[in-house]
Amino acid sequence: MPIQTLITKGKVPVKIYTGQVDPAAYQQLLNLSQMPFVHSHIAVMPDVHCGKGATVGSVIPTLGAIIPAAVGVDIGCGMCAVRLSLNANDLPDSLRSLRLALEAAVPVGFAMHRSDRAQRSTINALGVGLHQILDKHPKVNAKQNKPYQTWIRQLGTLGGGNHFIELCLDESDKVWIMLHSGSRGIGNVIGEYFINLAKKDMGQHLLNLPDKDLAYFREGAKHYDDYLLAVGWAQDYAMTNRREMLRLIGEVLHKKWPKLTFTKEVINCHHNYVAHEWHFDAKVLITRKGAIRAGEGELGIIPGSMGARSYVVRGKGNEQSFCSCSHGAGRLMSRSEAKRRYNADDVAHQTQGIECRKDSGVIDEIPAAYKDIEQVMAQQSDLVEVVHQLRQVMCIKG
Please give the Cα distance from 234 to 184 (Å, whole number): 9
Does 306 show up as a binding residue in the annotation? yes
Is residue 367 annotated as involved in ligand binding? no
Q: Is 163 annotated as a binding residue?
A: yes
**DSSP bridge pairs for 38:** 62
| Dihedrals phi, psi of 89, to nearest 5 degrees | -75, -5
**272 marked as binding residue:** yes
Report the distance separating Cα 27 and Cα 35, nearest Å: 13
* Residue 333 marked as a ligand binder: no
Q: Is 397 annotated as a binding residue?
A: yes
Question: Whose CA is closest to 217, among 73, 324, 71?
Answer: 71
**CA angle 292–295–296, rounded 5-degree value:** 140
Residue 321 assigned as binding residue: no
Asked if residue 330 belongs to a known ligand binding site, the reply is yes
**Which residues fall within 8 angstroms of residue 392, CB to CB, at 6 or more apart?**
166, 167, 168, 178, 306, 310, 354
Residue 337 assigned to a binding site? no
Residue 164 known to bind ligand: yes
**DSSP-based three-state secondary structure for 170:** coil
Question: What does the alpha-carbon distance between residue 343 and residue 338 come to, in Å, rounded to a whole number?
Answer: 9
Is 162 annotated as ligand-binding? yes
**Which of 100, 130, 114, 116 minimizes the C-alpha distance to 230?**
130
49 noted as active-site residue = no
304 is in an annotated binding site: yes
Q: Which of 39, 49, 113, 327 is catalytic?
A: 327
Residue 27, number of CB atoms within 10 A of its CB: 15
329 annotated ligand-binding residue: yes
- For the annotated binding site for GMP, the residues are 162-166, 271-272, 303-306, 310, 327-330, 397
Binding residues for Mn(2+): 74, 163, 180, 271
Annotated binding site: 74, 162-166, 180, 271-272, 303-306, 310, 327-330, 397
Catalytic residue set:
327
